[in-house]
Chains A and B, each alone.
Chain A
Protein backbone atom coordinates (compact mmCIF):
# COMPACT_ATOMS: atom_id res chain seq x y z
CA UNK A 1 0.00 0.00 0.00
CA UNK A 2 2.74 2.40 0.91
CA UNK A 3 4.19 2.10 -2.55
CA UNK A 4 1.24 4.08 -3.79
CA UNK A 5 2.40 7.11 -1.87
CA UNK A 6 5.20 8.45 -3.91
CA UNK A 7 6.88 11.34 -2.29
CA UNK A 8 9.13 12.73 -4.95
CA UNK A 9 10.11 15.87 -3.10
CA UNK A 10 13.69 14.65 -2.91
CA UNK A 11 14.19 13.88 -6.58
CA UNK A 12 16.33 16.12 -8.75
CA UNK A 13 13.40 17.15 -10.90
CA UNK A 14 9.88 17.71 -9.74
CA UNK A 15 8.86 17.66 -6.13
CA UNK A 16 6.49 19.73 -4.10
CA UNK A 17 8.37 22.97 -4.52
CA UNK A 18 9.22 22.69 -8.20
CA UNK A 19 8.85 26.29 -9.25
CA UNK A 20 9.35 26.83 -12.95
CA UNK A 21 7.83 28.54 -15.97
CA UNK A 22 4.37 27.44 -14.80
CA UNK A 23 4.41 30.38 -12.38
CA UNK A 24 4.66 33.29 -14.85
CA UNK A 25 2.45 31.53 -17.38
CA UNK A 26 -0.17 30.95 -14.71
CA UNK A 27 0.05 34.62 -13.70
CA UNK A 28 -0.40 35.73 -17.33
CA UNK A 29 -3.23 33.26 -17.76
CA UNK A 30 -4.87 34.60 -14.61
CA UNK A 31 -4.60 38.22 -15.77
CA UNK A 32 -6.08 37.22 -19.13
CA UNK A 33 -8.90 35.45 -17.36
CA UNK A 34 -9.54 38.51 -15.18
CA UNK A 35 -9.67 40.72 -18.30
CA UNK A 36 -12.00 38.39 -20.16
CA UNK A 37 -14.25 37.93 -17.11
CA UNK A 38 -14.30 41.70 -16.71
CA UNK A 39 -15.63 42.07 -20.26
CA UNK A 40 -17.88 39.02 -20.17
CA UNK A 41 -19.15 38.96 -16.59
CA UNK A 42 -18.32 41.84 -14.22
CA UNK A 43 -19.11 44.71 -16.56
CA UNK A 44 -22.41 43.55 -18.11
CA UNK A 45 -23.87 42.12 -14.90
CA UNK A 46 -22.49 45.01 -12.84
CA UNK A 47 -24.15 47.38 -15.27
CA UNK A 48 -27.37 45.40 -15.03
CA UNK A 49 -27.26 45.61 -11.21
CA UNK A 50 -26.48 49.34 -11.24
CA UNK A 51 -29.10 50.03 -13.90
CA UNK A 52 -31.67 48.15 -11.86
CA UNK A 53 -30.72 50.06 -8.73
CA UNK A 54 -31.06 53.33 -10.66
CA UNK A 55 -34.35 52.20 -12.16
CA UNK A 56 -35.75 51.23 -8.77
CA UNK A 57 -34.53 54.51 -7.29
CA UNK A 58 -36.07 56.41 -10.21
CA UNK A 59 -39.37 54.61 -9.82
CA UNK A 60 -39.27 55.24 -6.10
CA UNK A 61 -38.61 58.95 -6.62
CA UNK A 62 -41.39 59.13 -9.20
CA UNK A 63 -43.78 57.33 -6.90
CA UNK A 64 -42.86 59.70 -4.09
CA UNK A 65 -43.42 62.68 -6.38
CA UNK A 66 -46.75 61.29 -7.53
CA UNK A 67 -47.78 60.69 -3.95
CA UNK A 68 -46.95 64.27 -3.06
CA UNK A 69 -48.86 65.47 -6.09
CA UNK A 70 -51.81 63.33 -5.13
CA UNK A 71 -51.73 64.68 -1.58
CA UNK A 72 -51.55 68.27 -2.90
CA UNK A 73 -54.43 67.57 -5.28
CA UNK A 74 -56.49 66.01 -2.52
CA UNK A 75 -55.83 69.03 -0.33
CA UNK A 76 -56.80 71.34 -3.17
CA UNK A 77 -60.03 69.46 -3.77
CA UNK A 78 -60.81 69.44 -0.10
CA UNK A 79 -60.28 73.19 -0.01
CA UNK A 80 -62.52 73.60 -3.03
CA UNK A 81 -65.10 71.35 -1.46
CA UNK A 82 -65.01 73.44 1.69
CA UNK A 83 -65.50 76.62 -0.31
CA UNK A 84 -68.32 75.11 -2.33
CA UNK A 85 -69.97 73.92 0.86
CA UNK A 86 -69.63 77.39 2.33
CA UNK A 87 -71.07 78.90 -0.85
CA UNK A 88 -73.95 76.48 -0.90
CA UNK A 89 -74.66 77.20 2.73
CA UNK A 90 -74.70 80.91 1.85
CA UNK A 91 -77.04 80.26 -1.05
CA UNK A 92 -79.33 78.21 1.18
CA UNK A 93 -79.32 80.93 3.81
CA UNK A 94 -80.10 83.60 1.19
CA UNK A 95 -82.84 81.48 -0.30
CA UNK A 96 -84.29 80.84 3.12
CA UNK A 97 -84.23 84.51 4.05
CA UNK A 98 -85.73 85.43 0.68
CA UNK A 99 -88.45 82.86 1.13
CA UNK A 100 -89.05 84.18 4.65
CA UNK A 101 -89.29 87.69 3.25
CA UNK A 102 -91.70 86.61 0.55
CA UNK A 103 -93.81 84.77 3.07
CA UNK A 104 -93.86 87.70 5.47
CA UNK A 105 -94.62 90.12 2.60
CA UNK A 106 -97.45 88.00 1.42
CA UNK A 107 -98.76 87.57 4.94
CA UNK A 108 -98.59 91.30 5.41
CA UNK A 109 -100.32 91.90 2.10
CA UNK A 110 -102.99 89.38 2.96
CA UNK A 111 -103.46 91.03 6.33
CA UNK A 112 -103.73 94.41 4.66
CA UNK A 113 -106.23 93.05 2.21
CA UNK A 114 -108.19 91.55 5.06
CA UNK A 115 -108.14 94.89 6.88
CA UNK A 116 -109.26 96.69 3.73
CA UNK A 117 -112.02 94.16 3.18
CA UNK A 118 -113.10 94.48 6.79
CA UNK A 119 -113.09 98.23 6.49
CA UNK A 120 -115.09 97.96 3.35
CA UNK A 121 -117.55 95.57 4.98
CA UNK A 122 -117.87 97.73 8.07
CA UNK A 123 -118.35 100.81 5.88
CA UNK A 124 -121.03 98.97 3.95
CA UNK A 125 -122.67 97.87 7.18
CA UNK A 126 -122.52 101.43 8.44
CA UNK A 127 -124.04 102.74 5.21
CA UNK A 128 -126.72 100.11 5.27
CA UNK A 129 -127.43 100.89 8.91
CA UNK A 130 -127.65 104.56 8.13
CA UNK A 131 -129.90 103.78 5.19
CA UNK A 132 -131.99 101.45 7.30
CA UNK A 133 -132.23 104.07 10.05
CA UNK A 134 -133.25 106.76 7.61
CA UNK A 135 -135.84 104.52 6.01
CA UNK A 136 -137.07 103.59 9.44
CA UNK A 137 -137.21 107.26 10.37
CA UNK A 138 -139.17 107.93 7.25
CA UNK A 139 -141.52 105.14 7.98
CA UNK A 140 -141.92 106.40 11.54
CA UNK A 141 -142.66 109.85 10.18
CA UNK A 142 -145.18 108.44 7.75
CA UNK A 143 -146.75 106.32 10.35
CA UNK A 144 -146.83 109.24 12.75
CA UNK A 145 -148.46 111.41 10.09
CA UNK A 146 -151.04 108.75 9.39
CA UNK A 147 -151.78 108.37 13.10
CA UNK A 148 -152.07 112.09 13.48
CA UNK A 149 -154.29 112.27 10.44
CA UNK A 150 -156.55 109.67 11.86
CA UNK A 151 -156.49 111.13 15.31
CA UNK A 152 -156.62 114.87 14.76
CA UNK A 153 -157.66 115.12 11.24
CA UNK A 154 -156.01 115.94 8.06
CA UNK A 155 -156.15 119.71 8.35
CA UNK A 156 -154.08 119.83 11.54
CA UNK A 157 -151.40 117.79 10.11
CA UNK A 158 -148.75 119.91 8.23
Chain B
Protein backbone atom coordinates (compact mmCIF):
# COMPACT_ATOMS: atom_id res chain seq x y z
CA UNK B 1 0.00 0.00 0.00
CA UNK B 2 2.75 2.30 1.03
CA UNK B 3 4.71 1.43 -2.11
CA UNK B 4 1.72 2.21 -4.28
CA UNK B 5 1.41 5.60 -2.58
CA UNK B 6 5.07 6.34 -3.24
CA UNK B 7 4.70 5.43 -6.89
CA UNK B 8 1.60 7.59 -7.14
CA UNK B 9 3.49 10.42 -5.55
CA UNK B 10 6.24 10.20 -8.12
CA UNK B 11 3.76 9.92 -10.92
CA UNK B 12 1.92 12.98 -9.72
CA UNK B 13 5.15 14.97 -9.60
CA UNK B 14 5.73 13.68 -13.12
CA UNK B 15 9.45 13.41 -12.51
CA UNK B 16 9.92 10.54 -14.85
CA UNK B 17 7.26 10.51 -17.46
CA UNK B 18 8.77 9.61 -20.78
CA UNK B 19 7.01 10.76 -23.84
CA UNK B 20 8.66 9.77 -27.06
CA UNK B 21 7.33 11.07 -30.32
CA UNK B 22 4.91 13.52 -28.78
CA UNK B 23 5.46 17.01 -29.99
CA UNK B 24 4.27 20.45 -29.06
CA UNK B 25 3.20 21.72 -32.48
CA UNK B 26 3.25 25.30 -33.64
CA UNK B 27 1.68 26.08 -36.96
CA UNK B 28 3.21 28.61 -39.31
CA UNK B 29 0.91 28.91 -42.33
CA UNK B 30 0.35 25.35 -43.43
CA UNK B 31 3.62 24.15 -41.94
CA UNK B 32 3.95 22.52 -38.58
CA UNK B 33 7.01 22.87 -36.42
CA UNK B 34 8.09 21.35 -33.12
CA UNK B 35 7.71 24.09 -30.55
CA UNK B 36 9.53 22.27 -27.75
CA UNK B 37 12.65 21.91 -29.91
CA UNK B 38 12.72 25.62 -30.65
CA UNK B 39 12.05 26.57 -27.03
CA UNK B 40 15.00 24.54 -25.79
CA UNK B 41 17.18 25.56 -28.74
CA UNK B 42 16.51 29.23 -27.93
CA UNK B 43 17.70 28.54 -24.43
CA UNK B 44 20.89 27.00 -25.85
CA UNK B 45 21.37 29.90 -28.27
CA UNK B 46 20.78 32.32 -25.40
CA UNK B 47 23.45 30.60 -23.29
CA UNK B 48 25.94 30.74 -26.17
CA UNK B 49 25.21 34.37 -26.98
CA UNK B 50 25.39 35.49 -23.36
CA UNK B 51 28.65 33.57 -22.86
CA UNK B 52 30.12 35.14 -26.01
CA UNK B 53 28.93 38.59 -25.03
CA UNK B 54 30.33 38.35 -21.50
CA UNK B 55 33.65 36.99 -22.76
CA UNK B 56 34.17 39.68 -25.40
CA UNK B 57 32.69 42.68 -23.55
CA UNK B 58 36.10 43.94 -22.58
CA UNK B 59 38.81 42.02 -24.41
CA UNK B 60 42.13 42.25 -22.60
CA UNK B 61 45.56 41.33 -23.85
CA UNK B 62 46.12 39.38 -20.65
CA UNK B 63 42.88 37.43 -20.36
CA UNK B 64 41.20 36.93 -17.03
CA UNK B 65 38.12 35.11 -15.82
CA UNK B 66 35.53 34.28 -18.42
CA UNK B 67 37.53 35.64 -21.35
CA UNK B 68 40.24 33.18 -20.40
CA UNK B 69 37.76 30.30 -20.37
CA UNK B 70 36.22 31.25 -23.71
CA UNK B 71 39.67 31.66 -25.26
CA UNK B 72 40.43 28.16 -24.10
CA UNK B 73 37.20 27.00 -25.77
CA UNK B 74 38.07 28.84 -28.98
CA UNK B 75 41.56 27.39 -28.93
CA UNK B 76 40.05 23.92 -28.62
CA UNK B 77 37.65 24.57 -31.53
CA UNK B 78 40.44 25.96 -33.69
CA UNK B 79 42.56 22.93 -32.86
CA UNK B 80 39.69 20.65 -33.84
CA UNK B 81 39.28 22.37 -37.23
CA UNK B 82 43.03 22.66 -37.80
CA UNK B 83 43.67 19.00 -37.12
CA UNK B 84 41.08 17.84 -39.66
CA UNK B 85 41.22 20.52 -42.35
CA UNK B 86 44.85 21.52 -42.18
CA UNK B 87 46.78 24.62 -41.21
CA UNK B 88 46.24 26.40 -44.55
CA UNK B 89 42.50 26.19 -44.97
CA UNK B 90 40.96 25.77 -41.52
CA UNK B 91 40.30 29.39 -40.57
CA UNK B 92 37.11 30.10 -42.58
CA UNK B 93 35.60 26.86 -41.25
CA UNK B 94 36.07 27.60 -37.56
CA UNK B 95 32.66 29.34 -37.19
CA UNK B 96 30.83 26.38 -38.75
CA UNK B 97 32.67 23.60 -36.93
CA UNK B 98 32.84 25.59 -33.71
CA UNK B 99 29.15 26.41 -33.70
CA UNK B 100 28.29 22.78 -34.46
CA UNK B 101 30.32 21.63 -31.48
CA UNK B 102 29.11 24.36 -29.12
CA UNK B 103 25.45 24.00 -30.06
CA UNK B 104 25.45 20.21 -29.77
CA UNK B 105 27.52 20.22 -26.60
CA UNK B 106 25.43 22.83 -24.80
CA UNK B 107 22.21 21.17 -26.04
CA UNK B 108 23.28 17.77 -24.77
CA UNK B 109 24.49 19.05 -21.43
CA UNK B 110 21.43 21.23 -20.97
CA UNK B 111 19.32 18.14 -21.71
CA UNK B 112 21.19 16.16 -19.10
CA UNK B 113 21.60 18.80 -16.40
CA UNK B 114 18.45 20.92 -16.51
CA UNK B 115 15.24 19.33 -15.24
CA UNK B 116 13.28 20.31 -18.33
CA UNK B 117 10.55 17.86 -17.44
CA UNK B 118 9.44 20.05 -14.55
CA UNK B 119 8.43 22.77 -16.99
CA UNK B 120 5.03 21.83 -18.28
CA UNK B 121 4.07 22.58 -21.85
CA UNK B 122 0.69 21.76 -23.38
CA UNK B 123 1.94 18.74 -25.28
CA UNK B 124 5.10 16.68 -25.36
CA UNK B 125 7.97 17.69 -23.12
CA UNK B 126 11.02 19.87 -23.19
CA UNK B 127 14.37 18.18 -23.70
CA UNK B 128 17.66 18.67 -25.49
CA UNK B 129 17.12 19.96 -29.05
CA UNK B 130 19.34 17.12 -30.26
CA UNK B 131 16.74 14.57 -29.17
CA UNK B 132 14.64 15.68 -32.13
CA UNK B 133 15.64 14.14 -35.44
CA UNK B 134 14.88 17.39 -37.28
CA UNK B 135 17.76 19.08 -35.50
CA UNK B 136 20.29 16.34 -36.14
CA UNK B 137 19.25 15.91 -39.79
CA UNK B 138 19.43 19.70 -40.26
CA UNK B 139 23.00 19.68 -38.95
CA UNK B 140 23.95 16.65 -41.02
CA UNK B 141 22.53 18.19 -44.21
CA UNK B 142 24.32 21.47 -43.49
CA UNK B 143 27.52 19.47 -43.08
CA UNK B 144 26.91 17.76 -46.41
CA UNK B 145 26.30 21.11 -48.09
CA UNK B 146 29.41 22.46 -46.40
CA UNK B 147 31.67 19.77 -47.73
CA UNK B 148 30.16 19.90 -51.20
CA UNK B 149 30.72 23.65 -51.13
CA UNK B 150 34.27 23.20 -49.85
CA UNK B 151 35.10 20.61 -52.52
CA UNK B 152 33.51 22.50 -55.40
CA UNK B 153 34.95 25.86 -54.40
CA UNK B 154 38.41 24.30 -54.19
CA UNK B 155 38.36 22.11 -57.29
CA UNK B 156 35.34 23.22 -59.30
CA UNK B 157 33.40 20.38 -60.90
CA UNK B 158 36.61 18.39 -60.78
CA UNK B 159 35.47 17.53 -57.27
CA UNK B 160 33.04 15.01 -58.76
CA UNK B 161 35.77 13.67 -61.05
CA UNK B 162 37.54 12.65 -57.84
CA UNK B 163 34.74 10.13 -57.32
CA UNK B 164 36.40 8.01 -60.00
CA UNK B 165 39.67 7.95 -58.08
CA UNK B 166 41.61 5.71 -57.90
CA UNK B 167 39.33 3.65 -60.20
CA UNK B 168 35.90 4.25 -61.81
CA UNK B 169 34.57 1.30 -59.80
CA UNK B 170 34.55 3.67 -56.84
CA UNK B 171 31.87 5.95 -58.34
CA UNK B 172 28.81 4.14 -56.96
CA UNK B 173 30.43 3.72 -53.56
CA UNK B 174 31.33 7.38 -53.38
CA UNK B 175 27.81 8.33 -54.47
CA UNK B 176 26.32 6.11 -51.76
CA UNK B 177 28.74 7.66 -49.28
CA UNK B 178 27.17 11.04 -49.95
CA UNK B 179 23.88 9.69 -48.63
CA UNK B 180 25.22 7.58 -45.80
CA UNK B 181 27.38 10.30 -44.33
CA UNK B 182 24.55 12.67 -43.36
CA UNK B 183 22.45 9.69 -42.35
CA UNK B 184 25.11 8.30 -40.06
CA UNK B 185 25.90 11.73 -38.64
CA UNK B 186 22.30 12.52 -37.82
CA UNK B 187 21.32 9.09 -36.54
CA UNK B 188 24.38 8.67 -34.36
CA UNK B 189 23.68 11.90 -32.52
CA UNK B 190 19.93 11.46 -32.41
CA UNK B 191 20.12 7.82 -31.32
CA UNK B 192 22.75 8.35 -28.66
CA UNK B 193 21.12 11.33 -27.00
CA UNK B 194 17.62 9.89 -27.20
CA UNK B 195 18.81 6.54 -25.87
CA UNK B 196 20.60 8.25 -23.02
CA UNK B 197 17.53 10.27 -22.07
CA UNK B 198 15.32 7.18 -22.31
CA UNK B 199 17.70 5.08 -20.24
CA UNK B 200 17.94 7.73 -17.54
CA UNK B 201 14.17 8.24 -17.71
CA UNK B 202 13.39 4.54 -17.31
CA UNK B 203 15.86 4.20 -14.47
CA UNK B 204 14.43 7.23 -12.69
CA UNK B 205 11.00 5.71 -13.15
CA UNK B 206 12.12 2.46 -11.55
CA UNK B 207 14.47 3.72 -8.82
CA UNK B 208 14.07 7.44 -8.50
CA UNK B 209 16.86 8.21 -6.04
CA UNK B 210 20.67 7.95 -6.32
CA UNK B 211 20.74 4.83 -8.53
CA UNK B 212 20.35 6.75 -11.84
CA UNK B 213 23.21 9.09 -10.92
CA UNK B 214 26.06 7.02 -12.41
CA UNK B 215 24.09 6.67 -15.63
CA UNK B 216 23.49 10.42 -15.65
CA UNK B 217 27.22 11.06 -15.23
CA UNK B 218 27.87 8.61 -18.04
CA UNK B 219 25.25 10.55 -20.02
CA UNK B 220 27.23 13.76 -19.58
CA UNK B 221 30.30 11.98 -20.87
CA UNK B 222 28.41 10.53 -23.85
CA UNK B 223 26.93 13.94 -24.60
CA UNK B 224 30.33 15.57 -24.74
CA UNK B 225 31.75 12.75 -26.84
CA UNK B 226 28.86 12.95 -29.30
CA UNK B 227 29.38 16.69 -29.78
CA UNK B 228 33.08 16.06 -30.34
CA UNK B 229 32.41 13.22 -32.80
CA UNK B 230 29.92 15.25 -34.81
CA UNK B 231 32.20 18.28 -35.06
CA UNK B 232 35.29 16.18 -35.78
CA UNK B 233 33.56 14.17 -38.51
CA UNK B 234 32.11 17.32 -40.09
CA UNK B 235 35.58 18.89 -40.13
CA UNK B 236 37.11 15.68 -41.43
CA UNK B 237 34.59 15.47 -44.32
CA UNK B 238 35.27 19.11 -45.22
CA UNK B 239 39.01 18.51 -45.03
CA UNK B 240 38.68 15.39 -47.17
CA UNK B 241 36.63 17.27 -49.78
CA UNK B 242 39.36 19.89 -50.08
CA UNK B 243 42.19 17.41 -50.05
CA UNK B 244 44.20 17.31 -53.26
CA UNK B 245 45.55 14.12 -54.71
CA UNK B 246 49.07 14.84 -53.59
CA UNK B 247 47.69 14.41 -50.10
CA UNK B 248 49.94 17.15 -48.74
CA UNK B 249 47.65 18.35 -46.03
CA UNK B 250 47.10 17.08 -42.48
CA UNK B 251 50.25 18.63 -41.17
Q: Are A25 and B33 in contact (CB under 8 A)?
A: yes
Encode A44-60 as 1/0 by CB contact (under 8 A) with B: 11101101100100000
A33-B48 contact, Cβ under 8 Å, with A8-B19, A45-B55: yes
Does the CB pair B74–A46 fall under 8 Å? yes
Query: When the two chains form their complex, are residues A4 and B16 in contact, meaning their CB atoms are under 8 A apart?
Result: yes
Flag if A17 contacts B133 (CB, 8 Å).
yes
The CA of A125 and the CA of B39, in the complex, are separated in Å by 143
CB < 8 Å neighbour of A41 from B16, B22, B55, B75: B55
Is residue B181 within 8 Å, beta carbon to beta carbon, of the partner chain? no
Given A22-B135, A37-B48, A9 and B141 contact (CB-CB distance below 8 Å): no
- A4 in contact with B94 (CB, 8 Å): no
Q: Are B11 and A7 in contact (CB under 8 A)?
A: no
Rounded to whole angstroms, the CA-CA distance of A45 and B75 in the bound complex is 10
Which residue of A is nearest B91, CB measured?
A: A46
Report whether A22 and B37 are in contact in the complex, using a CB–CB cutoff of 8 Å: yes
**Number of residues of chain B lying within 8 A (CB) of chain A:** 56
**Residue in chain A with minimal CB distance to B78:** A46
Min CB gap A35→B, angstroms: 7
> Which of these binds chain A: B98-106, B149-157, B171-179, B238-246?
B98-106
A17 to chain B: which residues have CB within 8 Å? Answer: 133
- Of chain B, the residue at the smallest CB distance from A10 is B21
Q: A20-B134, A41-B70 are in contact. Are A15 and B21 (CB under 8 A)?
A: yes
Alpha-carbon separation in the docked complex, A31 to B95 (Å): 10
A37 vs B34: C-alpha distance when bound (angstroms): 24
Decide if B94 touches A7 in the complex (CB within 8 Å): no
Of B59-67, B108-116, B159-167, B214-222, the stretch lying at the interface with chain A is: B59-67
Q: Are B41 and A29 interface neighbours, CB within 8 A?
A: yes
